[in-house]
Structure 1
Amino acid sequence: MMNKMSMNEGELDVETVVSDLGRRARAAARELAVASVEQRNLALIEAAKLLRERRDEVVAANGKDLDSIKGSDKDAAFIDRLTLTDARVSDMADAVDAIAGQDDPVGRTLATFDRPNGLKIARISVPIGVIAMVYESRPNVGSDAGALCIKSGNVVILRGGSESLNSSRAIVGCLTDGLKAAGLPEDAVQLVDTREREAVKLLLHSTETVDLVIPRGGRGLVSLVQREARVPTLLHLDGNNHTYLHESADLEKAVGIVRNAKMRRTGVCGATECVVVDAKIAKEILPRLAAALHDCELRGDAAACEILPDINSASESDWDTEYLNNIISIKVVYSFQEGIKFVQDHSSGHTDAIIAEDQEAAKRFMVAIDSAIVMHNTSTQFADGGEFGMGAEIGIATGKMHARGPVGAEQLTSFKYFVYGDGQQRP
C-alpha cells in the first residue's frame, strides 16, 4: 500500500504538504498516546511480517534508487548505505520484531515521592509526541525509526534522502499497513513523499505540530538543522572515532580489533577513523597493523611515516575527518596524557576506545574521554543500538541533554508527574 501522501512532483506546494503532514500527525499522536502496548506490539509484529513478505518488492524499489544514481559521483560508502539486499531487509524485519519484544517504555514509574502533607507524587514515562526524523539516503533508518516510535507511542514524520525515495515508500507501506492491522492510525508513520529540499526547512519550522527533530546524516545535514531548527533537536553528529593503543595493549588483540573497527563497514558512523598508538609499542605494532589493513589507505604523522615509509603523510585536517571510507590516520603519542589529550581535542564525541591490559589505565581513559560511548578492548563498530540490546536505534546522540548514545524506544520518552491527593489545599 502506498503512503497516503504519495504525490506527483508539483501536484501540491510543499508548504501545504508539510502542513497537512503535521496536522494529521498531531491527530494521530492523540490516539497513539492512549493505545495499549498490545496494540503497538501487534503493529510491529505485522510490519515485520510484511517486510518479509514484501522483501522482493522492497529490494526492487531499492534497485530503482540505485539505478537513479548510476553515473553520478556518489562514492562507494554512499552506495553501500543506500543498498538493500535480501539479507538487509531480513535484518530490518528482525529488528522490528526485537523492538516489539521489548518491555513497554511508556507508563513506567520512574520515581515516587510521599510528601508530609499526604500528597503522593509519581514521575511517569510518556511519549514525546510527534517526531520528525530527517536522514540521508540510508533507507533502513526509516524502518528503525518508525518501529521505535510506534513502540514508544510516538508519531513520526520521515524525511529520507531523495535518492532513497522509492525504498522509503516500500518500507513505510509495510509500517502503515502494520498499524492498520492493529487498529491504530496509519498517520502514526508518514513519509514526506517529495524530493523538494524545502520540505526539510519547513519541518524544522513546524513548532505547532512537531515536538522533536532528529537529524541523522553528515555534517551538512546536521549544520542545516542547527542553523534552521525552531523545534527542539536531538543531534546525531559525525563519528570521528578513535582507537587508542596503550603501551599495555595485547598486540594480537589490538590488531584484530582495529581491523574490525575500521574495515567491517567503513561507511557507518561507528567506524574507527584514527588509531592513536603509544610510542613504546609503535615499532612493533605498526608493521603488523599495516599488514592487517592492506586494503586501507594509511595516513600517518612523522613518527608513523618513519616506521612505515610507504604510507602517506597525514595533514592537520586528517585528525578531524570522518572518512567513511577505507582510509585511516595514525598518530603516535609519547605519553598516556598526550594520548588522552589528542583524543579529547579531535573526537566528535561519538565513540572512542582504548586497547589496554592495564585496567587502571583503561578506567582513567574511559572517565577522561567525554564521548557518548567509550569502550575498552573492543571494536568501535559495536556502537549500535541493536548491539546494545535495543533492537535498533534512531541514532547515536552526541549531546548531553535528555538522551545520549544509542537512542532506542526508552530514550524516545519524556515524563510527567502524577499527583494524588485526598482533599489537600495549599495554605
Structure 2
Amino acid sequence: MLDPQDRTAPEDCTAMIAGMAADARAAALQLARLSTEQRRAGLCHAAQALRTAGPAILAANAEDMARAEAAGLSGALLDRLRLDEARIAVMAAGVAMVATLPDPVGQVIDTAERPNGLQLSRVRVPIGVIGIIYESRPNVTADAAALCVMAGNAAILRGGSEARASNAAIHQAFRAGLAAAGLPEAAVQQVATTDRAAVGAMLAAQGAIDLVVPRGGKGLVARVQAEARVPVLAHLDGINHVFVHASADRDMARAIVVNAKMRRTGVCGAMETLLIDAAFPHPAQLVQALTNAGCTVRGDARVGAISAVASAKPDDWDTEYLDAICSVAIVDGLDGALAHIARHSSGHTDAIVAEDNGAADRFLAEVDSAIVLWNASTQFADGGEFGLGAEIGIATGRLHARGPVALEALTTYKWIGRGTGQVRG
C-alpha cells in the first residue's frame, strides 16, 4: 500500500458491501430488461464521457504517479499505472469497441427436441453481480465496467490504493455516461475505501455477489482463492515461455523473442523465460538480441558457456519479473522444452517458434496453458488482439472460462423448455 490504509471497521465494510451489492442487484435486473441497443448506447455515452474527462483523469493520475514514485515503485509498475492522452484515447476506444461486439445475452447455444416433443434450448444470460478486485492498472476500471454492462451485469470494482485517484476519476466519468443514456448508475460502483477489510467483505458476500474476478499479483490471487466464499474466476501470474525449436527461422526467432520480452515488460503476456533448443544453430544471437534491447539475462550453465550472463537461480524459473529481466535455458529438444514448461509454466501463455509442423503441432497439443502460440509473440495474449474487445484478465483455470475474459465469459446460461402439455409418468 502507498498510503496508510483507511481505518474502516470490518463490520462497517461488511455493511457497505452489502448495501452496494443490493444496489447492484437492482441495477442488474434493470440491465437485464434493456435491449442490446440501449446497452450499446450506454457504452457509447461512457466512451465519450471518458474523452471529455481526459484532463481530470490525467490530473488524478498525476497524483497517483507522484505518490508511486515517492514510494519507490518499480519502473514496470509505474508503467502499468501511468496514463497519458494516448492511453486515455485507447481506453475510451476500447469501451466504444465493446459496444460494437455481438451481444451474448439471449444467444441460443443449442437446441434439442425430446421424443415426447418437449423442446429444450440453452440460452446465455447475465451472471448478475460481479466483483472485480484489481491492482495498478487504472484502465481496468473502464474495461471491466464496459464488459460487465454489455453482458448485462452490474459491477462492484475494488482497485488498488496506488491508483485510487485515477480509478475514481474514470469511474465518475463512466457513471456520468451511463446516466446520460438513461442506464442505472449503480450498474458500476467503486469501493471507495482502500482498507483490506473491504476485500474480505466482498469475498464473503455469498449470495450477494455472484462472481469475483481478481486481477493482480500472486498475493492478491492467493488471498482471494483462500478466503472466497463466492465463486472465483482466477487470473494468475504470467510465467510465459517462448521455445525456439531447432527448425526455427533465425530472423523470425530473434524478432519474436525481443518483442515477447521487451515490447512492454509490465504486461502479463510478457515472456519471462526463453527456452532454446540445443540444436538451434544461433543461440548466442538470441541472447545478444535481448541484451542489446536492454534486457538483463539470467542463464543456466549451458547459456553461460556461450554468453557472459548472470547465473540463473532456481527461483528464477518461477518468477514473473514484469521487468526487463529474462531467464534463459538451453534444453534438449522438444521433450526438454515440454518438461520445463510443465514444471514452471503458470498456465497463462506459452509459444513455440518452429518451421517443423510436426514439432509445432505437438507443442500446441501438449502444452496445457490457456493460450498456446506458434510463430507469434506472447504479447498477443490480450482480449483486444483476439477480437474480443476489452478484457478483465486472462483466466488460467480450467472451469467456466479460459484465456481472455471478455463478454461471453461474463455470462452463464439457463435451460428453457417449451412444451405442449407434457407430463412425466
The TM-score with structure 2 as length reference comes to 0.96
- Equivalent residue in structure 1 for 2:374, among 368, 373, 376: 376
Aligned to 2:334: 336
Alpha-carbon displacement from aligned partner over 1:335-389 (angstroms, at most 9, x marks no partner): 2211111111110000000000011110000100000000000100000000001
Would the aligned equivalents of 2:287 and 2:297 in 1 still touch at CA under 8 Å?
Answer: no
CA positional deviation for 1:292: 4.2
Matches of 1:106 and 1:287, distance apart in 2: 50
Secondary structure, aligned partner of 2:279: helix
Counterparts of 2:328 and 2:422, CA distance in 1: 66
Does the Cα contact within 8 Å between 1:251 and 1:285 map onto a contact in 2? Answer: no
* Deviation by residue 1:281-308 (Cα, 9 ceiling, x = unmatched): 25x2323431343211000000000000
Q: What secondary structure does 2:280 align onto?
A: helix
Residue aligning to 2:187: 188
Matches within 5 A, 1:297-316: 297-308=296-307, 310-316=308-314
Q: If the length of structure 1 is used for normalisation, what is the TM-score? A: 0.96
Q: Work out whether residues 239 and 350 of structure 1, in 8 Å CA contact, stay in contact via their aligned partners in 2.
A: yes
Secondary structure of the equivalent of 2:104? coil
Q: Which residue of 2 aligns with 1:348?
A: 346
Q: Report the CA distance between 1:410 and its aligned residue.
A: 1.2
The secondary structure found in structure 2 opposite 1:374 is: strand
Match of 2:407 in 1: 409
SS at match of 1:280: coil
The answer (yes or no) to whether the contact 1:259–1:293 under 8 Å persists in 2 is no
In structure 1, C-alpha distance between the alignment counterparts of 2:155 and 2:40, rounded to whole Å: 16
For residue 13 of structure 1, give the secondary structure of its aligned residue in structure 2.
Answer: helix
The equivalent residue for 2:3 is: none
Equivalence map 1:202-281=2 (5 Å): 202-281=201-280
Corresponding position: 1:94 with 2:78: no
Q: 1: CA distance between counterparts of 2:194 and 2:360? A: 47
- What's the CA shift string for 1:159-198, capped at 9, x where partnerless? 0001111111111112211221222211000000111111
Pairs within 5 Å for 1:124-203: 124-203=123-202
Larger CA deviation: 211-220 vs 181-190: 181-190
Number of paired residues?
Answer: 418
Is 1:396 paired with 2:394? yes
Say yes or no: does 1:419 pair with 2:417.
Answer: yes
Preserved contact between residue 69 and residue 78 of structure 2 (Cα < 8 Å): no
CA deviations 1:196-241 (Å, max 9, x no partner) are: 1110011000012100000000000000001110000000000000
1:98 and 1:391 in contact (8 A); partners too: yes
AA matched with 1:360: G
CA distance in 2, matches of 1:412, 1:142: 16
**Distance in 2 (alpha carbons) for counterparts of 1:111 and 1:269:** 34
Partner of 1:319: 317
Computed over aligned residues only, the root mean square deviation of the Cα atoms, in angstroms, reads 1.3
Secondary structure of the equivalent of 1:123?
strand
In 1, Cα distance between equivalents of 2:48 and 2:400 = 33
Partner SS for 2:155: strand
- Residue identity matched to 1:410: E
Paired amino acid for 2:351: A
Preserved contact between residue 241 and residue 352 of structure 1 (Cα < 8 Å): yes
